[in-house]
Amino acid sequence: MNPAIVGVGTSGFGRFPTERIESLAWTAVIEALDDAGLTPSDIDAAYVGSVFGPPGIANRVLAGVGLAGIPVYRIEAACASGTVALHEAQRAVRTGVHRRVLAVGVEQLSVVFDGPIVPEPTDPEGRAGLALPALYAMQANRYLDAHGLDASVLAHIAVKNKFAGSLNPRAHLGGTPPSFEQVLASRPIAGPLTLLQCCPMTDGAAAVVVGVDTDPGAVPFLASSFVSGPMWDAAGDEPWSMRTVAAAAANVWEQSGRGPEDVDVAEMHDAFTIGEILTTEALGLAAPGTAGDLAGSGETALGGRRPINPSGGLLSRGHPLGATGLAQAAELVWQLRGAAGPRQVEGARVALLETMGGGAAGVDGNACVVALLGAPS
């Protein structure tokens, strides 16, 4: 069977420390089922992505909406947890194992962390106290030096994504978008990254129903690839995790018979500004050393030739780890259906989704999923 997304839903994104984590997921699941025109009894299996959710979170979420007695799988793949859940859901439909599958992602970081996420303390990065902003800052410095660029080029990513986020009523950081100068002048976090170049610690949930491409309003999968990182020896020229992203992208281009030039809109991992820059180039959507300038020229902004992160991305919508990939998928479904409101990318027919999860020492990223979606027939 040819898999397709037939329903999407999300909670709002923000900090909700007094709310039950399950209730965030229930909001997203109910919206996704309603969008698909289905009831819980129509679902054959479920995949739930969560990194820091408590034990049993998958079953409690599903039982709360009347889903029980079906196969339930919890997936943890760092920031890619929700997208791996989506990949496995579409694979189950594609192979005929199930007819309709629910993918859910949920996270409540406000009750787990007081500050940035620090790698596992038994890993070298954790022992050195290198929180994730510092690790991304090291990537940024390497990139800027390799291409002879000024650090200000990074701010273009934040400007365009926060403008898009200001148009997204579900975003964690909406409101008035900052100027280029305000991004650069915001509080230093880990040089050259400033506060407005870092994603917030966000609570939220997202859900996707995967069916077949003959279902009403179906957004078909043109391709989907899930790749785990190879061993990382730090000897290559590519920054950390980019080999993994490029490998997943190569699989998608081969599966679909399409290439980067066919993409109309993309949602990708931009936990920090340098993340979007490196990923855009690893996917082949920009030549090496050019992604920041493309954002500054407006080419990858709303209204440009190929908008990236019209939802506001992780920088603005927020980054509830387990939910992030499914929130990206929801945005792209709205885009392909022409239902994204003021964020709508006109004429969008092919959409690219990418989420990379990292954090385990010794490998070039824990996991990466790249998927290509097409507009409804």
Q: Which residues are catalytic?
A: 79, 319
Buried b (16+ CB within 10 A) or exposed e, 326-348: bbbbbbbbbbbbeebeebbbeeb
Comparing C-alpha atoms, which of 358, 262, 364, 277 is closest to residue 313? 277
Beta-bridged to residue 102, according to DSSP, are 46, 209
Rounded-to-integer distance, Cα 255 and Cα 223, Å = 6
Structure tokens at 269: 């991992």
DSSP per position, 104-137:
EEEEEGGGT-SSS----TTSHHHHTT--HHHHHH
Q: Helix 155-165 to helix 273-282 angle, to the nearest 10 degrees? A: 100
Q: For helices 321-337 and 81-94, give the axis angle rounded to 10 degrees.
A: 60
Q: Strand 72-75 and strand 367-374: pairing?
A: unpaired
Q: Strand 3-10 vs strand 219-228: parallel, antiparallel, or unpaired?
A: antiparallel
Contact 110, 17 (CB under 8 A): yes
